Structure 1
């Protein structure tokens, strides 16, 4: 009996949340409710007063709110939209902040338009025939908020915009507020695969967390670029100095030859000294002091050299401000305070370092003074003077000693130079290894940001993966002369190894490439040499992000243009935290009617709860299916479609339930001849007769 009564009834009188859920098909399923009751049912409630004093007093203040014109036709709409048009609650449903809702638009340009259009906080649809002023109205509103917007008939729209006034529900006429405007074909243009990566990245960057991660990634890449370039310069400078040092060593002499010559002269000296038996003890004492003297002179030269280096270092600034650090976004007080703190800290640190260097110099000077004092004591000592006299009196021995002294000095100098050269070689090789590590760290950073740049919202999944940029091959072709097969093969191999995206393959490839460059086995084009090429290849981040979207089992790149446009619209709106009004010109472009009804309409119905929407459309599914709260009918004055007072553009607005029987009177303004419902049927369905003909042919209506 209950099912029979429910099947006969249009409306259920109940405020019970469980009943509301059941009759809307949410407790079981819409199909089950339709099978049992014929269709989904709206629930309403009254005060259920049993005494006069209870009339108008609702339990828990849960009123029945109906979104409609206060007419019987308005009430009937809850039968067709039982979920959207009626709500039982203690507060007004779907309420939006006043500052996010456009209340009215005042149009006042002589001969063009002169009226005020009030807007609904939810869905407002602008309809009309071709060239009736639909897009003109929408773009005239949009252009008030963004001077950079480019629209069709730009100069004409901007002239009209001077006399268009947009007022918000909070009472302000504030053109600095935010809106989102999508002109006709704009979404299909930006959804082109060529621009999809930039578009998807912009969508991701609307998310504060993703934006912060991406900005950090960009900053790290920028720092890494500068670090690698400075390291490359340092590498080649160290390598140049090493080569100069090794050449200088060759110019000083052959160390192995000098060692042989020293051994030969020492043997000769021993032979001569052995004959000087009377002075053997004196010579022995002399040799000891000479050995000590040589050690002291070697130490003296080392201290003098180190003091020179320390004095040069004392002129340097070891710590400087990092130019890549930005204070944008900080208040002026905080940014100035930070800059002052950094400046003071840098001055203090550099002072501390110079003070430390000065203490090293003082320490070396004291040691040098002691050494020089000991040298003076030795050369003035009896053992040294007596021994030296023996050598002076013996010409042959004296000559040998002179030669030995020269060779020993050379030997000491060469050993010192070799020690420095080996350190230089070790330094530049360490820098080379560091360069490889720095370059390969690009791969880590791009992998990290790729894993971060992902978002999912309901049935839309936005993901990213790393891809090799075409810039790498372009750079190689720009630097390397490709006249030989070997150079072409080299470029192909480098690109191929990078495409593998693995550290081991890239490091092996780079090592081979750099060795070839350093050995002059690569032919460069004019303007390039080994250092500039190495700087380009190592400092560049050759990997980028490829962004992709999956929706309804399809990849963005495989979607039809229409579906791609719809998905892009979803992305632009769903992944945004904005609550400002949305202005769209013909969102149905490129979509077939099935997709419009099954996807776009459902999406608009959901989105209008969150944000005010004003859109231009030619599709009845959007106006009727999405249950447009307000329909704005546009007309351009013409012989068969006159406006009042012959004004060029005129508009009439109201709800779908606004119905008035057609009255055709000579000279009457066409917008006044019937209600909004009739205009919708005429403009979007071709008229009542055309609608019935289609209904009959489809067999939906039994004749």
Structure 2
């Protein structure tokens, strides 16, 4: 029992031989030799043959004798009899329905036993009752044709008259333990001589009963095979179980009656059976028709040959009594008692595939037995390609080596499914599968999920960041504008006070003027007003000059520092654009026009204007009676020097004493200063009175920016939906366990965080709807959360606008800073607005759900199911061998049966799966292709115990016994499988 277990082999289940009782067209003296030559030269090679004859096993016995005596058919490992009978049920083609007894050759007395069974079948004719024996069939023939004297001819004619009653056949089969154990029933499905030809409505029930009784259907068309596997629309496995006792394997033989058709079925529709070359493989095909029987030119496609470990060999290991094992390309189950060497084999295979790095725990064989493994190596032979040879201990692991298998060791599974929380690696694995579900054309050159997500969302996230910054800036500006509005009353009061003060100064000045000088006072007032105007011009032009100089400095700084820095940042952010330095230069920020010329020209103009308005200080004239300014001069066009000289002259003429002149000069100066201050106050008032309109516009802009943030969020959601779409579409079309898995994308609003941040700004002791801890969160849950999490951008903006309009005043009243403390309150307002319109608490989340529960909330056992679902059913792109150590850990038996069995069955059809297991369901109900049984011998201190292995398929009775003896629930698993499939598993 050292073999690869269940493999696909070509069988010939229905072929006649020279001397067959009816329609024997094998002619010539070398008929048998030619017949064997045709079988030997058949391609693909035939490994099992059911020699067919009518009502007897004559040609089978001759076939076996010829084969043994002449050393023919060296490739054929199994020959067994196929006894063809005709039921007393007619077809529309005026033929009789054929039924076949496929007889197990294991019993040395199988020929005599099947003849004894045939003898129980009866046919009534000529007032007599005839048994299905050679003697009685000859008697029946002579009753019909007395002239028949040749025994062979009489036997043939009697057989042609003998029709087996279906009811009697079924009854005798049910009464015979030997028949039930050693005979499988096959019925032809053809229209000519099979059940398809039973068309009479009155016989519909009889047809169904015949097909229900059969274990095998001789049929070759894809449509018939789909029907009998429950794959045809409207049929299904449940209907087949109800009407026909389950699914049936379809087989097809050449049904050769002449040399030209030997081993040449129509359309190259060869029969393939997966299993050892023994009759039990046919029984297993009845148990699992979809997985073990196939009709076609080639056997079903399995794992990619280049990805199949065909053989594992331990070198330099004196403890390995079975150093070399061949491995099946399908599902390999390694079983054995605790400490028998199961994990040792899995570790060795994984090490040979460079797949153990970071996957081994302290409980692994390689770690525990480290001191005994010096010089031990593992050699893997692949079905194609060169062997790989590795030391079992490889401390110089090269991380650049690509693992040629995926190893789910106990440590790896435990970490990914830990109860401590969802491990990042499980999410990474899920995202890898999502990424690989996209075609290479859809990946935008990305190499992993994170990179693809970044490529698809970077613009959206940048937009969101910019709009969030804009919201913050706008909120600051709104705060400033609100503060300006609060200053209007104060500014108006100051202007009134300033007007009164200036009036008082004028009255005081008037009192200093002596009588008779009214004209001079009027002239002085005109000159003073003009001087105030000129000073304003000087101030404005001086300010412009200073601003222009600052702007020149800013231009220089932009060119020298900011533009180069911006270009470097852009290069870093968009390195994927792959532009060369020359191309990048066009992205350097610069000014569109001749800013230097403009600034130089404007600065010269401003400085000239300033100098012109300032003028020069004029020297005092010899007589104050000589004016500096003509009486008809346009005073507001004169320089300040001229005006001040004339003002001084007039003041000297009005006042003769120095003290009075100084006082008049002082008051006149103050009047000028106060007029300038009054002008500034009026400018500020005009600015503050315009704040309301600006605030409205800024609030509108902020709401638009808030809307754009959620447009970016919604767009990112759509990107995620698009990324998951291929896998989601596949899950929507799946059946069974796969349908329990789903992917969802959603917005999550951390309302508690948002409300807590807000409450930190408020005096929660005050009365009102938001008094106390938690009330704000309750309001937000009701009014904002639905829109935040599921509303479109417009709905979110409307919800926030409604909340602000309804409650902003109440919230502002809760300020922890008194409004009287203007600077602090202004700072508080900014923090309030930044919080209210903040979106940092809004996140896009995606979840992988199993039965509508986020995997982050699943138990470790259920996470294990998701993990295996991922690797076994969804990871289509990974065709490497999958090695799993005890996938049943943390899972209950029902979950294993309900959730995992179908996953392993599906996976083994596309990749090699090697698993260590203690669970019988994962061996029996997955119909493991190969079972490797590990045994360990007596342990000598200081040495490893000897380890040996047995290997074979479940079609082998001895292997089934090992499964029952070793695995808990082994016998129960076999019985459950038999009950579920309504079959007998006596052997």
Q: 1:31 to 1:493 in 2, by over 3 A?
A: closer
What corresponds to 1:126 in structure 2? Answer: 334
Q: Find the partner of 2:368 among 144, 149, 156.
A: 156
Contact between 1:201 and 1:547, CA under 8 Å: does it hold in 2? no
Contact between 1:228 and 1:435, CA under 8 Å: does it hold in 2? no
Contact between 1:101 and 1:121, CA under 8 Å: does it hold in 2? yes
What corresponds to 1:638 in structure 2? Answer: 938
What corresponds to 1:678 in structure 2? Answer: 961
Contact between 1:214 and 1:449, CA under 8 Å: does it hold in 2? no
What corresponds to 2:324 in structure 1? Answer: 116
Q: Find the partner of 2:865 among 554, 560, 566.
A: 566
Q: How does 1:82-481 map to 2 (within 5 A)?
A: 82-113=289-320, 115-142=323-350, 144-153=354-363, 155-156=367-368, 163-171=377-385, 173=388, 175-177=401-403, 179-184=405-410, 187=413, 190-191=416-417, 195-196=421-422, 201-202=427-428, 204-206=430-432, 207-208=434-435, 211=450, 212-213=452-453, 254-265=494-505, 290=531, 293-294=534-535, 296-314=537-555, 315-316=557-558, 320-321=565-566, 335=576, 337-338=578-579, 340=581, 344-346=585-587, 348-349=588-589, 351-352=590-591, 357-369=595-607, 371-372=609-610, 374-375=612-613, 382=630, 383=633, 384=635, 385=642, 387-388=646-647, 389-391=649-651, 393-395=653-655, 398-413=665-680, 452=720, 456=728, 457=731, 458=734, 459-460=739-740, 461-469=742-750, 472=753
Q: 1:153 to 1:128 in 2, by over 3 A?
A: same
DSSP-derived class of the 2:248 partner: coil
Contact between 1:203 and 1:572, CA under 8 Å: does it hold in 2? no
Q: Find the partner of 2:271 among 58, 64, 69.
A: 64
Contact between 1:222 and 1:324, CA under 8 Å: does it hold in 2? no
Q: 1:240 to 1:165 in 2, by over 3 A?
A: farther
What corresponds to 2:952 in structure 1? Answer: 654
Contact between 1:467 and 1:545, CA under 8 Å: does it hold in 2? yes
Using the TM superposition, give the Cα deviation of residue 82 of structure 1 relative to its aligned residue in structure 2, in angstroms.
Answer: 1.1
TM-score of the pair, normalised by structure 2: 0.55
CA distance in 1, matches of 2:771, 2:457: 34
Contact between 2:312 and 2:325, CA under 8 Å: does it hold in 1? yes
Alignment deviations for residues 132-153 of structure 1 (CA, whole Å, 9 cap, x no partner): 1212332444453242224243
Q: 1:421 to 1:693 in 2, by over 3 A?
A: closer
What corresponds to 1:525 in structure 2? Answer: none
Contact between 2:759 and 2:776, CA under 8 Å: does it hold in 1? no
Using the TM superposition, give the Cα deviation of residue 626 of structure 1 relative to its aligned residue in structure 2, in angstroms.
Answer: 0.9
Q: How does 1:606-621 map to 2 (within 5 A)?
A: 606-621=906-921
DSSP-derived class of the 1:352 partner: coil
Q: Which has the larger radius of gyration?
A: 2
DSSP-derived class of the 1:106 partner: strand
What corresponds to 1:671 in structure 2? Answer: none
Q: Find the partner of 1:585 among 871, 878, 885.
A: 885
Q: 1:259 to 1:180 in 2, by over 3 A?
A: farther
Contact between 1:467 and 1:546, CA under 8 Å: does it hold in 2? no
Unpaired stretches in structure 2, ≥5 consecutive residues: 1-88, 90-194, 196-206, 390-400, 439-448, 618-627, 636-641, 656-660, 788-795, 820-826
Using the TM superposition, give the Cα deviation of residue 499 of structure 1 relative to its aligned residue in structure 2, in angstroms.
Answer: 4.4
Contact between 2:310 and 2:327, CA under 8 Å: does it hold in 1? yes
Pick which of 50-59 and 24-33 moved more.
Answer: 50-59
CA distance in 1, matches of 2:314, 2:475: 69
Alignment deviations for residues 450-496 of structure 1 (CA, whole Å, 9 cap, x no partner): 6746664131223244445599389859989999899x976534544
Using the TM superposition, give the Cα deviation of residue 124 of structure 1 relative to its aligned residue in structure 2, in angstroms.
Answer: 1.2
Using the TM superposition, give the Cα deviation of residue 80 of structure 1 relative to its aligned residue in structure 2, in angstroms.
Answer: 1.8
Using the TM superposition, give the Cα deviation of residue 7 of structure 1 relative to its aligned residue in structure 2, in angstroms.
Answer: 4.5
Using the TM superposition, give the Cα deviation of residue 41 of structure 1 relative to its aligned residue in structure 2, in angstroms.
Answer: 2.0
CA distance in 2, matches of 1:411, 1:187: 80
CA distance in 1, matches of 2:896, 2:430: 26
What corresponds to 1:666 in structure 2? Answer: none
DSSP-derived class of the 2:965 partner: helix
Q: How does 1:447-596 map to 2 (within 5 A)?
A: 452=720, 456=728, 457=731, 458=734, 459-460=739-740, 461-469=742-750, 472=753, 492-497=774-779, 499-500=781-782, 501=785, 502=787, 503=796, 504=799, 508=804, 519=817, 538=838, 540-541=840-841, 543=843, 545=845, 547=847, 549-551=849-851, 562-563=861-862, 565-571=864-870, 573-579=872-878, 580-596=880-896
CA distance in 2, matches of 1:420, 1:412: 12
CA distance in 1, matches of 2:334, 2:276: 19
Contact between 1:587 and 1:617, CA under 8 Å: does it hold in 2? yes
Using the TM superposition, give the Cα deviation of residue 281 of structure 1 relative to its aligned residue in structure 2, in angstroms.
Answer: 10
Contact between 2:472 and 2:834, CA under 8 Å: does it hold in 1? yes
Unpaired stretches in structure 1, ≥5 consecutive residues: 522-528, 660-674
Alignment deviations for residues 637-664 of structure 1 (CA, whole Å, 9 cap, x no partner): 238xx9xx996333232322245xxxxx
CA distance in 2, matches of 1:243, 1:484: 26
Contact between 1:106 and 1:166, CA under 8 Å: does it hold in 2? yes
DSSP-derived class of the 1:297 partner: helix
CA distance in 2, matches of 1:558, 1:678: 41
DSSP-derived class of the 1:195 partner: coil
What corresponds to 2:227 in structure 1? Answer: 22
CA distance in 2, matches of 1:610, 1:690: 25
TM-score of the pair, normalised by structure 1: 0.73
DSSP-derived class of the 1:84 partner: helix
Contact between 1:231 and 1:431, CA under 8 Å: does it hold in 2? no
Q: 1:469 to 1:624 in 2, by over 3 A?
A: same
Using the TM superposition, give the Cα deviation of residue 581 of structure 1 relative to its aligned residue in structure 2, in angstroms.
Answer: 2.7
CA distance in 1, matches of 2:427, 2:689: 50
CA distance in 1, matches of 2:864, 2:972: 34
Aligned-pair RMSD on alpha carbons? 5.6
Alignment deviations for residues 74-104 of structure 1 (CA, whole Å, 9 cap, x no partner): 3443222211112233454223334433333
Q: 1:533 to 1:582 in 2, by over 3 A?
A: farther
Pick which of 601-610 and 489-498 moved more.
Answer: 489-498
What corresponds to 1:626 in structure 2? Answer: 926
Contact between 2:762 and 2:814, CA under 8 Å: does it hold in 1? no
Using the TM superposition, give the Cα deviation of residue 127 of structure 1 relative to its aligned residue in structure 2, in angstroms.
Answer: 0.8
CA distance in 2, matches of 1:119, 1:112: 20
Question: Which protein, 1 or 2, shows the higher relative CO under an 8 Å CA cutoff with sep ≥ 6?
Answer: 1
Q: How many residues align?
A: 663
